[in-house]
């Protein structure tokens, strides 16, 4: 059996980092971890190939080779999915699909022969059993939350690691919180399930043995959903990183209550976590309560961000406008908030109702849903009727982007962050780091309109906080990407 895995193309968004990837000579940010894991669940004797369309073009000969084509995708990859399915059906191929997009919108696609929905540890064996009997069904679904300690190591051999800026591993699934707009609970539930420490070390070792050194994103819904288990796992990672001289710089996603646990932050720093994404959302307490983001209302968000920065981790953040509670004052409030806390990578989006979320059900009941979401909330699009005048909301959103991603304000945030930051990351500077720096000197230090700000940042950081120098360069490079994407959105 010849199995072709295909991962659809991402559009150019804030999240793609497309324009920053050129500085490190990489084709994509992250590999398709879901498909690599599915590949490891299929019979070993089957032949397997993977085409990540973000890295390589999908060609007719790739499809001709396959007996079945497996596709996985998120909502934002919808258009890419349609094209892949069209190409496969033109050759009469069997298409098997799963992942977040198909799980919540399975009825949106024609041409998919078999839908493997929810979590594959449960539904994929059902499909394989029926396939063996010669009677595979069209849809496989289950509400069972599987034990992920049985999940295999991803099949890294299917990709060229050098194509990617960052590798990905998963430690846990699920989040204990219940934010109205979030679809994590639909996908993975509210009770965090974790892999064992030994399992995680095995995954790290597999990446290391495959030749990887560099950034690794722990792609959990909430890395600290179970703090006790996270600390137990971190103890093992700290030892492994030390043994191999810190080959991985780790990143993850967490909730703001991370700042309440000094021991946990110190352990993450010791394990070489240097970045964490937080859903900060908004400075408005009313809007936080409206969307049930209660964990963000129990303390000061600026203090939480500063505390995490002082424990060796850069904070990147998600922000939202368009809540029912938002007034026209929210736009200036968000700008002030983002600038104050020094979150440089500030992903500001308009509220959108993802399929089957509590928000989606509420708005549907109120008759306010307009159409499906694109899955890209940072594109000045909204898929429901807001309380605020829609045009004012869109213009206010664009105003935020124009302000926070202007070179002056962007570099001001970098300086605010560097001031609070106490870097602890370990590991050697790579050839890619040196190459990225040299490219930044030319493209930003000479050609960019931000060149004076760039040189001031580098000189100041080099003189006052040398351990943060590489981070300052990285953020300056990100600025080139954010500026281009912002320019396109403002012109929309």
Q: Each residue of 239-262: pLDDT tens digit?
A: 999 999 999 999 999 999 999 999
Residue 326's pLDDT is 98
Which one, of 95, 195, 179, 181, lies nearest residue 136 by Cα?
Answer: 95
Give the β-pairing of 172-173 and 193-194. antiparallel
Burial of 44 (C-beta count, 10 Å sphere; 0-12/13-18/19+): exposed
- Express each pLDDT in 418-444 by its tens digit: 999 999 989 988 888 999 999 999 999
> Hey, which residues does 350 pair with through a beta bridge?
321
In the sheet with 94-98, reading across from the earlier edge strand, the strands are 47-52, 2-7, 68-72, 94-98, 114-116, 139-140
> Hey, which residues does 250 pair with through a beta bridge?
216, 273
Residue 377's pLDDT is 80
Residue 425's pLDDT is 87
pLDDT band of residue 379 (cuts 50, 70, 90) is confident
Cβ–Cβ < 8 Å for 272, 426: yes
Compute the distance between CA of residue 377 and CA of residue 184 in angstroms, rounded to an integer.
Answer: 16
**What single DSSP character describes residue 153?**
P
Q: Which H helix or E strand runs over 249?
A: strand 248-254
Tell me what percent of the residues of the chain surpass a pLDDT of 90.
94
Q: Which H helix or E strand runs over 229?
A: helix 227-243
Question: Exposed e or buried b for every residue in 310-347, given b needs 16+ CB within 10 A?
Answer: ebbbbbbbbbbbbbbbbeeebbebbbebbbebbbbbbb
**What single DSSP character describes residue 176?**
S
Over range 201-211, report the average pLDDT: 98
Tell the residue number behind the tokens 């193309």, with chain if given.
9
Compute the distance between CA of residue 421 and CA of residue 444 in angstroms, rounded to an integer.
Answer: 23
Is the sign of the CA dihedral 43, 49, 54, 57 positive or negative?
negative
Which one, of 39, 48, 56, 38, lies nearest residue 4 by Cα?
Answer: 48
Tell the residue number behind the tokens 């993975």, with chain if given.
188
Compute the distance between CA of residue 212 and CA of residue 410 in angstroms, rounded to an integer.
Answer: 32
Whole-number mean pLDDT of the chain?
Answer: 96
Cβ–Cβ < 8 Å for 8, 32: no
SS3 385: coil
- Give, in order, the Cα–Cα distances in Å from 186 to each of 74, 180, 224, 304: 14, 11, 19, 28
- Express each pLDDT in 443-456 by its tens digit: 999 999 999 999 99
- Express each pLDDT in 142-195 by its tens digit: 999 999 999 999 999 999 999 999 999 999 999 999 999 999 999 999 999 999
Residue 62's pLDDT is 98
Phi, psi of 384 (to 5 degrees): -150, 170
Compute the distance between CA of residue 382 and CA of residue 393 in angstroms, rounded to an integer.
Answer: 10
SS3 231: helix
Over range 351-376, report the average pLDDT: 94
Cβ–Cβ < 8 Å for 231, 199: no
Residue 144's pLDDT is 97
Least confident segment among 105-114, 255-264, 275-284: 105-114
Residue 105's pLDDT is 83
Query: Which residues make Cβ contacts (< 8 Å) with residue 438, sequence separation at least 6?
Result: none
Confidence check: pLDDT of 109 > 90: no
Residue 358's pLDDT is 97
Rounded to an integer, what is the distance from CA 252 to the centroid of its chain?
A: 9
Which one, of 322, 374, 315, lies nearest residue 346 by Cα?
Answer: 315
Confidence check: pLDDT of 299 > 80: yes
Cβ–Cβ < 8 Å for 330, 396: yes
Rounded to an integer, what is the distance from CA 165 to the centroid of its chain?
A: 13
Residue 414's pLDDT is 98
Confidence check: pLDDT of 107 > 80: no
Confidence check: pLDDT of 108 > 80: no
- Express each pLDDT in 366-375 by its tens digit: 999 999 888 8
Compute the distance between CA of residue 297 and CA of residue 37 in angstroms, rounded to an integer.
Answer: 37
Residue 384's pLDDT is 96
Query: Which residues make Cβ contacts (< 8 Å) with residue 404, sequence separation at least 6?
Result: 335, 338, 339, 346, 348, 410, 413
């Amino acid at each position: 059996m010849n199995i072709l895995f295909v991962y659809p193309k991402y559009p150019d968004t804030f999240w793609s980092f497309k324009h920053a990837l050129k500085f490190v000579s990489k084709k994509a940010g992250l590999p398709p971890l879901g498909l690599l894991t599915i590949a490891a669940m299929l019979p070993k004797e089957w032949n397997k190939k993977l085409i990540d369309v973000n890295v390589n073009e999908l060609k007719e000969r790739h499809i001709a080779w396959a007996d079945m084509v497996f596709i996985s995708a998120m909502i934002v990859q919808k258009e890419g999915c349609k094209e892949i399915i069209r190409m496969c059906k033109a050759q009469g191929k069997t298409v098997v699909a799963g992942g977040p997009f198909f799980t919540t919108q399975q009825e949106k696609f024609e041409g998919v022969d078999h839908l493997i929905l929810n979590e594959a540890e449960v539904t994929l064996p059902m499909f394989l059993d029926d396939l063996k009997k010669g009677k595979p069904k069209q849809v496989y679904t289950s509400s069972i939350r599987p034990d992920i300690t049985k999940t295999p190591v991803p099949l890294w051999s299917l990709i060229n690691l050098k194509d990617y800026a960052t590798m990905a591993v998963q430690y846990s699934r699920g989040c204990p919180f219940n934010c109205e707009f979030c679809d994590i609970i639909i996908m993975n539930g509210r009770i965090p399930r974790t892999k064992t420490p030994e399992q995680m070390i095995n995954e790290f070792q597999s990446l290391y043995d495959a030749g990887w050194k560099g950034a690794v994103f722990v792609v959990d819904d909430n890395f600290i959903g179970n703090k006790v288990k996270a600390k137990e796992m971190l103890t093992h990672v700290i030892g492994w990183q030390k043994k191999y001289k810190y080959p991985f710089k780790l990143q993850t996603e967490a909730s703001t209550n991370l700042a309440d646990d000094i021991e946990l932050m110190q352990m993450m720093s010791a394990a070489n976590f240097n970045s964490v994404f937080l859903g900060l959302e908004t400075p408005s307490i009313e809007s936080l309560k409206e969307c049930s983001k209660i964990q963000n209302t129990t303390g000061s968000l600026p203090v939480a961000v500063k505390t995490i920065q002082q424990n060796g981790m850069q904070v990147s953040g998600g922000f939202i406008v368009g809540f029912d509670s938002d007034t026209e004052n929210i736009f200036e409030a968000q700008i002030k908030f983002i600038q104050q806390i020094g979150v440089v990578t500030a992903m500001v989006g308009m509220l959108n109702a993802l399929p089957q979320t509590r928000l989606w059900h509420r708005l549907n009941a109120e008759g306010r849903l307009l159409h499906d979401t694109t899955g890209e909330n940072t594109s000045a699009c909204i898929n429901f009727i807001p309380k605020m005048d829609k045009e004012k909301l869109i213009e206010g959103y664009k105003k935020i982007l124009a302000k926070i991603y202007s070179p002056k304000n962007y570099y001001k945030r970098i300086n605010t962050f560097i001031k609070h930051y106490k870097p602890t990351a370990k590991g050697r500077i790579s050839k890619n780091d040196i190459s990225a720096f040299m490219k930044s000197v030319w493209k930003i230090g000479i050609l960019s309109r931000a060149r004076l700000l760039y040189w001031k940042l580098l000189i100041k950081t080099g003189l006052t906080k040398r351990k943060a120098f590489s981070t300052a360069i990285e953020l300056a490079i990100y600025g080139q990407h954010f500026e281009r994407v912002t320019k396109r959105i403002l012109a929309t």
